[in-house]
Amino acid sequence: MPLNIDWQQILLHLLNFVILFAGLWLLLYKPVRKFMNERRQKYEKMDADAQKKTAEAEESRAEYERKLAEADAEIEQKRADARKELDRYETMRKNAAEEEASSIVAAARESAAREKERALSDARGEIAGLVTEATEKLVLKESASEAYDSFLDAAERAEKKDGGNA
């Protein structure tokens, strides 16, 4: 035996190493590899679920944004309709006010015309009365100056009477 190498010892150590390797393979490596594969599958499943939920959330967000845009458009449409309705109501109220104002003015004009006619009629009546009174006084042979003075006094009384009413 050169160099003092015992082949039998080497083979026994080699056999021990193979038995130890096989035992460790069966006892440690396989369970650890199985655990690691299960763990990888669990995290891959969690990742797939997270991606699925993210996609669903994106779809929901897009749907909510679409609904929000529709709601904004509907609100804007309702505002426009309300503005149109308000303008129409405003125009209607303005026209009604103008009609009412014109009827009030027409009624006032009619009333003023009646009042004028009544005042003219009263004035004519008073003038006729004064003329009749003056004529009677002249006929009764009163002096012209007395008749004229009495005519002026009656006119002043009538003027004061009308001035107090106006």
If one compares 60 and 134, the residue with the highest pLDDT of the two is 60
Q: Which residues constitute the domain of residue 99?
A: 9-165
Q: pLDDT tens-digit profile of 33-71?
A: 999 999 999 999 999 999 999 999 999 999 999 999 999
CA angle 29, 32, 34 (to 5 degrees): 105
Q: At 105, list the tokens.
A: 């003015």
Task: Report the amino acid identity of residue 19.
Answer: I
Q: What confidence tier does 2 reach under pLDDT thresholds 50, 70, 90?
A: low
pTM higher than 0.75:
no
Considering its fold, how many domains does the chain have in total? 1
User: Has residue 2 been placed in a domain?
Assistant: no
- Comparing CA positions, the residue from 104, 97, 84, 155 lying closest to residue 126 is 155
User: Has residue 77 been placed in a domain?
Assistant: yes
- Name every residue whose Cβ is closer than 8 Å to that of residue 123 and which is 6 or more positions away in sequence: 162
